[in-house]
Chain A
Amino acid sequence: MKYKIRPLGIIMVSIFGFLVILTFYTDKSQFELTGKEMHAKVLAANYKLSNEDALGMNGAKLVDIRDSKSFRLVPREGAINVPLASILSDENKAFFQTDAPKVLISDDAVQSHEAWMLLTQLGYENLYVTEEKQPEKPKEDDKPKTPIGPRKVISGGH
């Protein structure tokens, strides 16, 4: 009778081992918080800063999450460029793990809030967002870019 039990046992144990191996290699979620926990956190958190607060914070690092091209075209002083697309690379994760408060900035408020949500759900702390544009941004920069020549004008009564 023991013979019948042994193969059964071997099959059971090997299925078990197979499961363990299989789950080891699956692309598991690293999120620390579930959707509901994130919801509670969002309701309680107040992470939006004004520009002065962001600059006045001790040891705060400005993190510009625009893509590197637009960061090079219109650089923001004192900011580190971490493009949103590569925000989950290992070195960037290591950077977000450091203790210093980090202020996320972008041209697009949606993106900076999204990055905040993503990183907070991953369990990183000390993150803030500022929506305000760069202070004392030289306005003259914009003008030469637009061509000055004559234009078709739609307006007017004629």
Chain B
Amino acid sequence: MGPIVPIFEISTELNFLIAFIIGIGFGFALEQAGFSSSRKLAGMFYGYDTTVLKVFFTAAIVAMIGLVFFNYFELIDMSIIYVNEYFVNSAIIGGVIMGVGFIVGGFCPGTSVCAAAIGKIDAMAYLGGSLIGIFAFGETYPLWKDIYMKNYLGGVKLSTTLGISDGLMVFGVIAMAVMMFWIGEWAEKKFRRPDITNEL
């Protein structure tokens, strides 16, 4: 038994529909986790609120455990799962730009859409800014192409690069996540700020 819906037997339209439904779920989860508040997001950097870390690590852990066990029980085929391609230069430069934008604007691209959807004006401004950025990048793409495409490594997995099994990698990430949870809890106490829930 392979993927429940084989890739060859699904039309593009249905594919988009499934993506749409998953997208709604994603946005809902983001909003529920409080990611539409830029104070909560920025709290990660100052240590008074580690929700971001907890949510993202939880998502990663659930997905990882699910994939490993589904693979073991032959419900999913790991070999045909798309692994995002790795361009070293783009990842580093993009990561820096994204980090600066994150702390300055108070949103990451996904959460800005989420916050704009519930009517936050700063999020709309942020969204407009990122759209202008995308447009500018698209128009000047030939200038960046060389840097953008440099050091292409393909769809590599961390476990294969380190030479360990997927299961061991999962365990390592989980151990790290649990450790980060406790550190986060500790940090939240240490850098506690007055409760802002009512102001939001």
| A adjacent to B, CB under 8 Å | yes
Q: Is A44 an interface residue (CB 8 A)?
A: no
Give the total of A residues in contact with B, Cβ under 8 Å: 8
Q: How far is the CA of A28 from the CA of B2 in the complex (A)?
A: 10
Query: Is A23 an interface residue when CB atoms closer than 8 A count as contact?
Result: yes
Q: Is A110 an interface residue (CB 8 A)?
A: no
Please, which residues of chain B bring their CB within 8 A of the CB of A28?
A: 1, 74
A22 within 8 A of B: yes
Q: Tally inter-chain residue pairs, CB-CB below 8 A.
A: 18
Contacts of A23 in B (CB 8 A): 1, 73-75
A20 contacts B by Cβ under 8 Å:
yes
Which B residues between 54 and 98 are near A, CB-CB below 8 angstroms? 69-70, 73-75
**Which residues B109-160 have CB closer than 8 A to chain A?**
none
Would you give the 0/1 interface string for A1-43, flagging 1 where the beta carbon is closer than 8 Å to chain B? 0000000000000001001101100111000000000000000
Alpha-carbon distance A27/B75, docked complex (angstroms): 12
A16 vs B66: C-alpha distance when bound (angstroms): 10
Residues of chain B within 8 A (CB-CB) of A19 are: 69-70, 73, 75
Q: How far is B3's CA from A26's CA once the two chains are assembled, in angstroms? A: 13
Asked if A20 and B73 make an inter-chain contact with CB atoms under 8 angstroms apart, the answer reads yes
**How far is B74's CA from A26's CA once the two chains are assembled, in angstroms?**
9
Chain B residues closer than 8 Å to A22, beta-carbon distance = 1, 73, 75
CA distance in complex: A28, B73 (Å): 11
In the complex, A19 Cα to B67 Cα: how many Å? Answer: 13
| CB<8 Å pairs between A and B, sample of 5 | A19-B70, A19-B73, A20-B73, A23-B73, A28-B74
Q: Which residues of A contact B (CB under 8 A)?
A: 16, 19-20, 22-23, 26-28
Q: Top 6 closest A-B pairs, CB basis?
A: A26-B1, A23-B73, A19-B73, A23-B74, A26-B74, A19-B75
